[in-house]
Amino acid sequence: MSDLTPDKNTPGLHVAAEPIYRKHDDPGRWWNTTASTPTGSYTCGGCGQSDTATGHRDVGALVEDYADNHGPAHRGGRR
């Protein structure tokens, strides 16, 4: 598998977390838990800014920052 980390040649947003695999009849499979700590990174194709984050809360904030101020914002999208 290739490296999916965004850079100036391939800008964008990447978030990853290893899922917990469970049996189909396990009610716990619907929990919002992961087997590993989520990580995220972005590089903006419009302004070149980049950032990284680790953990549920920080990755969520990273995605909001990217969506509000970078990628889509530079293409005339959201807000």
Instruction: Report pTM.
Output: 0.72
Q: State whether residue 8 is helix, strand or coil.
A: coil
Sign of the torsion angle spanned by Cα atoms 26, 27, 28, 34 = positive
pLDDT digits (tens, 9 = 90+) for 20-52: 666 667 666 656 666 678 899 999 988 889 999
* DSSP 8-class letter at 10: S
Q: What is the pLDDT of residue 79?
A: 45
Q: What is the DSSP string of 13-78?
A: EEEE-PBPP--TT-GGGGS--BSS--EEEEE-TTT--EEEEESHHHHHHHHHHHHHHSHHHHTT--
- Is pLDDT larger for residue 77 or for residue 76? 76
pLDDT digits (tens, 9 = 90+) for 52-73: 999 989 999 999 999 999 987 7
Give the range among 3-7, 14-18, 38-42 with minimum mean pLDDT: 3-7
Q: Taking the CB of residue 50, how many other CB atoms lie within 10 A of it? A: 15
- Is pLDDT larger for residue 5 or for residue 32? 5
